[in-house]
């Protein structure tokens, strides 16, 4: 890539995170560089220095931004996120008792290190093959029993299991856009039964079209699993139908199939992408 293209990529990266009021460290800016081509470390560093000298980028307390952010907000939110992540890890230890759970990841503001003090905690759960709705049923049941489940009017620091994915359908069904790619990259595993986090990343390699510098770890070999006992199939079907019936009156934009459950009370995708494009337009890139 030419230096001008790398500089634009850096500005785009900072502009995108500015939509979340989030200044970035050197490592974050490099690893989450918005580019469809990989950029070398030395070229990136030289271009970033040139942007600093031209005062197009601001360096403030180890963080980079476009000159409009207050780093104190990031520092506060990072501390809140660490505290909430501790709660998520405790919940994951409990959910690990459910034998059908393969992976639990924290997503959203907490995984991004940008949560407010009393935010809820979004999690994504990967289930074993053909046990998606049974896994959701047991997950909600266990969280409710421990008074950790997020309810309307009781959101503070509670667990919101809003994405469930069957292990045979690990490709994220939210569209191959920069918003979804960003969410996947920032997801943080808090329980992994045998390398499913890297398997999840491997199923979503399209994110490299937006973040070419992002490094995938090696994918461990996961032995083929024997189908679960036949007796669970009617249970799975019954739980799927009963939960769908319960959700029917409240359902809006949720995705509910036999392979994926995705609750999207408020979909920020379009608003975030529009704000990002507007910032890029102002920057002339």
Q: What is the pLDDT of residue 167?
A: 95
Is it the case that residue 222 has pLDDT exceeding 60? no
Decide if pLDDT at 90 tops 80: yes
* Nearest residue to 131 (alpha-carbon basis) of 265, 224, 263, 261: 261
Give the pairing type, strands 159-166 and 121-127. Answer: parallel
Element (H, E) at 125: strand 121-127
CA end-to-end span of the chain? 16
Q: pTM for the complete prediction?
A: 0.89
pLDDT at 225 over 70: no
Give 160-219 pLDDT, tens digit per residue: 999 999 999 998 765 689 999 999 999 999 999 989 999 999 999 999 999 999 987 654
For residue 187, what is the enclosing H or E element?
none
The pLDDT score that the predictor gives to residue 174 is 57
pLDDT digits (tens, 9 = 90+) for 25-80: 999 999 999 999 999 999 999 999 999 999 999 999 899 999 999 999 999 999 99
Dist CA 267 CA 52 (whole Å): 35
3-69 CATH choice from 2.60.40, 1.10.10, 3.40.91, 1.20.58? 1.10.10
Q: Where are the domains of the chain?
A: 3-69, 78-266
Q: Which fold has domain 78-266?
A: Beta Polymerase; domain 2 (3.30.460)
| Residue 230 binned pLDDT confidence (cut-offs 50, 70, 90) | low
């Amino acid at each position: 890539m030419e230096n001008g293209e790398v500089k634009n990529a850096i500005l785009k990266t900072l502009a995108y995170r500015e939509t979340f009021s989030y200044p970035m460290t050197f490592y974050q800016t490099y690893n989450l560089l918005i580019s469809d081509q990989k950029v070398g470390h030395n070229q990136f560093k030289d271009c970033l220095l040139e942007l600093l000298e031209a005062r197009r980028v601001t360096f403030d307390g180890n963080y980079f931004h476009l000159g409009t952010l207050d780093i104190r907000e990031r520092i506060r939110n990072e501390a809140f996120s660490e505290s909430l992540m501790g709660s998520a890890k405790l919940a994951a230890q409990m959910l690990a008792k459910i034998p059908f759970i393969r992976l639990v990841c924290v997503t959203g503001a907490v995984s991004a290190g940008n949560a407010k003090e009393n935010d809820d905690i979004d999690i994504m759960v990967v289930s074993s093959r053909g046990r998606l709705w049974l896994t959701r049923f047991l997950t909600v049941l266990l969280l409710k029993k421990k008074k950790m489940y997020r309810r309307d009017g009781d959101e503070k620091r509670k667990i919101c299991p809003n994405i469930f994915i069957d292990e045979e359908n690990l490709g994220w069904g939210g569209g191959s856009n920069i918003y979804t790619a960003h969410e996947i990259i920032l997801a943080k595993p808090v329980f992994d039964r045998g390398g499913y986090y890297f398997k999840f990343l491997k199923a979503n390699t399209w994110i490299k079209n937006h973040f070419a510098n992002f490094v995938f770890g090696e994918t461990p070999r996961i032995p083929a699993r024997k189908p679960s006992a036949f007796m669970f199939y009617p249970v799975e079907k019954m739980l799927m139908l009963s939960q769908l019936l319960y959700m029917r009156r409240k359902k809006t934009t949720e995705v509910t199939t036999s392979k994926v459950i995705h609750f999207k009370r408020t979909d920020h995708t379009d608003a975030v992408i529009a704000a990002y494009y507007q910032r890029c337009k102002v920057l002339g890139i």
